Amino acid sequence: MQNLLSQAQSDTLIFRDLKWIDRSPTMVVEPLIDGTPSGELERISITPNAFIGVDFSSAALASRGISDQRFCAGYAKAREEHAGFYTVACPHSATIAQGKQCPQCLALDEFSAMHGIHRGARLTSAAEDYAELEHWLYIATFPDGTSKVGTASAHSKPRRLDEQAVACATYVAHANDGRQVRIWEDLVTREAGLVQAKQARAKYKAWTSPLPASEIKEAHEKAVALATWSLQEAALFEDYIEEDQIIAEKWQPSPAMKSAYSSIAEGNDGSLHTFEPLLNSPRGFYINGATGKFLVAHFGNSEAVFLVNLAEVANRAFIVTDTVTEEPTTQGSLF
């Protein structure tokens, strides 16, 4: 049994994110050198049935002289050579009590202004190149029947939805650029009542306590209809959208999500089991698949699958361990 994380350059790491690259889940980690972030990110692709062992516990970290606080995620900087952004490591290796960034990195971040470009937010010339990419407006519905509206650029379609842990989603409009799509996003929020964000904790609860598949589908169709109606009304009376920009394109889950989506499929009689937070003690498990920031895992019995929430440990340090956790007693939602 080899720990997938043993290929990293160190056995003490910061978990930065679970990204979807080429529609496959990939762990992004940062080695710690003498307890300090190295500034170098490593990407480790998650392969089917891979073993992952981690210890985020305060006691284990203290024994290595490592902080159990979150580390600053750094800041986004626009690329000069082509449209897009990359992450710059926090220059102070700061720890933070809340959020993802220290005040200095928050001030330096060049992507955050993207959310306000339709309201006059100023961009650097490199970030402006990204804003000029074509964008899509989507409606996403979660297993609890709630829906949100969001945007994806030419660079983040379909990755943006892959990372959202949605039950189903539909692209409802195709925009010329980032400014136009954010005008539409605010319109749909105002007219159709759809929010623009859903917290990871709520997504986790939705996946471990889902509605029947027919009710999820019905909720999604209703949300898409409301959003489309709002856009069609705007196309009749406003100049910021044309009728031919309104579309209906379904997002399809990645094959790597099969184990998660089978749990909410029509005729399935059991949801994914909750798994206690990773912060308490060493945890080791095998990977069946993933959705969004969550891993579908088992502990030797592939028929008993649990959902592991990696969102809750983003930017925290851990130690690589080879301990396999004993299969937990099946339980209902922890929330």
Q: How confident is the model at residue 333 (pLDDT cuts 50, 70, 90)?
A: very low
Share of the chain above pLDDT 70, in %: 97
Which pLDDT belongs to residue 304?
87
Q: How many CB atoms lie within 10 A of CB 17?
A: 18
Regarding predicted confidence, which is higher, 152 or 120?
A: 152
Q: Which of 161-170, 211-220, 248-257, 317-326 has the lowest mean pLDDT?
A: 317-326
Q: Which residue type occupies 149?
A: V
Burial label for 155, CB within 10 Å (0-12, 13-18, 19+), is middle
Q: Which of 23-37, 147-161, 178-192, 297-311 has the lowest mean pLDDT?
A: 297-311
Provide the residue count of the chain.
335
Q: Which of 90-99, 121-130, 156-165, 293-302 has the lowest mean pLDDT?
A: 121-130
Question: What mean pLDDT comes out for the span 193-221?
Answer: 97
Which pLDDT belongs to residue 155?
92
Pairwise CA distance, residues 320 & 34, whole Å = 15
Q: Which residues pair with 273 in a beta bridge?
A: 306
pLDDT at 1 over 90: no
Beta-sheet pairing, 246-250 with 12-21: unpaired
Task: Identify the sign of the CA torsion 298, 299, 304, 308.
Answer: negative
Measured in whole angstroms, the distance separating CA 178 from the mean position of its chain's CA atoms is 20
Pairwise CA distance, residues 37 & 294, whole Å = 24
Of the candidates 112, 246, 256, 105, the one whose C-alpha atom is nearest the C-alpha of residue 174 is: 246
- Whether the upstream peptide bond of residue 158 has omega within 30° of 0, thus cis, is yes
pTM: 0.93
Which pLDDT belongs to residue 335?
37
Mean pLDDT of the chain: 93
Question: What mean pLDDT comes out for the span 10-21?
Answer: 96
DSSP string, 20-75: EETTEEEEEEEEEETTEE-S--EEEEPPTT-EEEEE--HHHHHHTT---SEEP--E
Pairwise CA distance, residues 287 & 303, whole Å = 12
Q: How confident is the model at residue 296 (pLDDT cuts 50, 70, 90)?
A: very high
Burial label for 46, CB within 10 Å (0-12, 13-18, 19+), is middle
